[in-house]
Amino acid sequence: MEKIKSFTVNHLTLVPGIYESRRDPVGNSVVVTYDIRLIKPNISPVLGNPELHTIEHLGATFLRNHPVYKDRIIYFGPMGCRTGLYLLISGDMMNEQLFVLVKDMFAFISTYDQEIPGTQAIECGNYRDHNLEKARKVAGNFLNDLYMIEDTSLTYPE
């Protein structure tokens, strides 16, 4: 079988940031997959599943309630390697708009202090596996990284 494109990205030079991973035409539109890379792969310790799970619940809640983009959100969920999350959006977006959206989402997560949505046994497949304190910390650190990024091209480094 052919190696899929995302495995050809050089994970040794990757730094935290937002990257456009794929564009898939669907009907008359396009679904764009963004990699939200929270930590440096294979160097920084990977994220624990509880904090990643909490980021998933809070991020999905934020995105699916967003006044402008809620109807264009296809998916938000963790990478199996536990270094980030995937965000799939229907239709094209300006890079700057995407950066604002992701910054707003991580600002929301980094200051969230209420009950995590979807954490009753009936609502989630592993409802005890959450860590809000760590999720807030991870989100705050990533937000700081985002504010340092000047290159908003969304392209992976060589």
Q: Enumerate binding residues for Zn ion (CB under 5 A).
A: 124
Report the 3 state secondary structure along 33-77.
EEEEECCCCCCCCCCCHHHHHHHHHHHHHHHHCCCCCHHHEEEEE
Q: Which residues on neighbouring strands pair with residue 86, listed in sequence order? A: 35, 77
- Least distance (Å) from Zn ion to the CB of residue 128? 10
Nearer to Zn ion, 9 or 124 (CB): 124
Query: Cα-flanking dihedrals φ and ψ of residue 19, to 5°?
Result: -130, 140
- Supply the minimum distance, in Å, between the C-beta of residue 80 and Zn ion: 15
Minimum CB distance to Zn ion, residue 123 (Å): 7
In the complex with Zn ion, the residue whose CB is nearer, 41 or 84, is 84
What is the signed CA dihedral for 136, 142, 143, 145, rounded to 10 degrees? 150
Beta strands in the chain (DSSP E): 17-26, 29-37, 73-78, 84-90
Tell me the closest approach of the beta carbon of residue 57 to Zn ion, in angstroms.
6
* 22 vs 134, beta carbon nearer Zn ion: 134
Our CB check for Zn ion shows the closer of 119 and 152 to be 119
Select the residue whose beta carbon is closest to Zn ion and give its number. Answer: 124
